Amino acid sequence: MAAFRITAQSFQLHLLYDVPSVQHCKVISHETSAVVLRPSGDITRSVSAETAFSHHISDLTDREKRLLAKLYDGLIGGQRAALAESITLVETQHPRKKELAQVLLQRVLAFRQEQEKRNGGNPVAFRVGLSGPPGAGKSSFIEVVGKMLTGRGHKVSVLAVDPSSCTTGGSLMGDKTRMTELSRDMNAYIRPSPTSGTLGGVTRTTNEAIVLCEGAGYDIVLVETVGVGQSEFAVADMVDMFVLLIPPAGGDELQVVRISSQTGQGVPELWDTMLQFRDAMLSSGELRVRRQTQQKVWLWNLIQENALRHFQQHPAVRAELPELERRVTSGHISPGLAADLLLKIFSSVQ
């Protein structure tokens, strides 16, 4: 894995040029192609998928239409309140509101695609993931680099993925509190991690929040996550570039650049390096391929997550599961056999 090490007075930063390909991540954002299926040999199925989506739209009440129009117009117009409300909509657990959120996202995606077309097919925003152990200095770095970027005329959004908030409702990362100046900046938008849901759910909404931020005109999207466990992999699969910030104990012999979030030393140079990386990916076509691959990964993750939930909630499976689990743990039958039996039950009784 190619990497740069950037050493702060007390912190080091690795730019991972080659993010490990990740299989166990959990988010999707909804590109048109993922929702609207092309007619295939099986007409009934393809029609029903298209119908299901148009149903979403034709089914809207006047009130819902007004709400969506208000959010969409506000968001595209760059209103922070509309962006905040839209992200809240994609975070909701409410089934009907979830559907509304998908309609909104679909519209924002269409808008963003138009913008990309006008931009020569290139992405309208640069997405950067920032990871590292608790207290490594991620938020401090974002504060400095964020202020620098808004000073250069960019609009910067900061999203957080906090795995601790999924289980405890608490926040491992200090989020807003350590980005005092940036959170007051009118060209920055900081969104803390959703406080409930599974990691899969939280990362999914983060991925969707990225789309919304881009629709609202934010051309730099920074995603902060604690560098422990799955959240890191999930974030790697929604960004163009992944940066790992670590305390200075490690001893590997990599290229060293000094930065400090306290004095700002080295930060512009670091950003330049990151832009060079982005430009190289753009001109080689790698960025486009990477984003396409990410869409597919998230599609399959969502399918996996939903299929698993269906399986776990299936009444006949639930009825048989405890006994089969008991027999597997006591060594009476093999896990493979138990899985086969449960899958047979699942597919025969719908």
Ligand X SMILES: Nc1nc2c(ncn2[C@@H]2O[C@H](COP(=O)(O)OP(=O)(O)OP(=O)(O)O)[C@@H](O)[C@H]2O)c(=O)[nH]1
Instruction: Please name the helix (run of DSSP H) or strand (run of DSSP E) that holds residue 258, with its range, or none.
Output: strand 255-259
Smallest distance, Å, CB 32 to Mg ion?
A: 34
Q: Cβ closer to ligand X: 131 or 295? A: 131
Q: Cβ closer to ligand X: 78 or 174? A: 174
SS3 130: strand
Q: Cβ closer to ligand X: 137 or 194? A: 137
Site for ligand X in 3-32 (CB under 6 A): 8-11
Q: Cβ closer to ligand X: 92 or 183? A: 183
Site for ligand X in 122-151 (CB under 6 A): 132, 134-140
Neighbours of 222 (CB within 10 A): 26
Neighbours of 238 (CB within 10 A): 29
Neighbours of 349 (CB within 10 A): 11
**Chain contacts with Mg ion (rule: CB under 5 A):** 138-139, 173
Cα angle value 307/311/316 (rounded, 5°): 155
Q: Identify the CA nearest to 125 among candidates 154, 104, 145, 102.
A: 154
Alpha carbon 265 to chain centroid, angstroms = 30
Smallest distance, Å, CB 191 to ligand X?
A: 14
Say which entry of Mg ion, ligand X, none residue 136 contacts (CB below 5 to 8 A, set by partner kind). ligand X
Q: Identify the CA nearest to 68 among candidates 91, 97, 37, 47.
A: 97
Smallest distance, Å, CB 211 to ligand X?
A: 24
DSSP-assigned states of every residue in 136-198:
SSHHHHHHHHHHHHHHTT--EEEEEE-HHHHHHS--SS-GGGG-TTGGG-TTEEEEPPPSSS-
Q: Cβ closer to Mg ion: 138 or 147? A: 138
Q: Cβ closer to ligand X: 270 or 342? A: 270
* Interface with ligand X (CB under 6 A), residue from 165, 260, 294, 301: 260
**Which whole-number Å values give the CA distances from 313 to 27, 143, 307, 309, in the listed order?**
21, 44, 10, 6
Smallest distance, Å, CB 218 to Mg ion?
A: 19
Say which entry of Mg ion, ligand X, none residue 137 contacts (CB below 5 to 8 A, set by partner kind). ligand X
Smallest distance, Å, CB 139 to ligand X?
A: 3
Smallest distance, Å, CB 263 to ligand X?
A: 8
Q: Cβ closer to Mg ion: 177 or 347? A: 177
Site for ligand X in 160-199 (CB under 6 A): 173-174, 178
Say which entry of Mg ion, ligand X, none residue 132 contacts (CB below 5 to 8 A, set by partner kind). ligand X
- Please state, in angstroms and rounded to a whole number, the distance separating the CA atoms of residues 294 and 286: 12
Q: Cβ closer to Mg ion: 102 or 139? A: 139
Q: One symbol per residue from 321 to 340: x for binding ligand X (CB under 6 A), - otherwise; what is it?
A: --------------------
- Please state, in angstroms and rounded to a whole number, the distance separating the CA atoms of residues 23 and 73: 36
Q: Are 143 and 180 in contact (CB under 8 A)?
A: yes
Phi, psi of 330 (to 5 degrees): -85, 0
206 binds ligand X (CB under 6 A): no
Smallest distance, Å, CB 91 to Mg ion?
A: 20
Smallest distance, Å, CB 173 to Mg ion?
A: 4
Phi, psi of 10 (to 5 degrees): -135, 5
Which positions touch ligand X (CB under 6 A)? 8-11, 132, 134-140, 173-174, 178, 226, 260-262
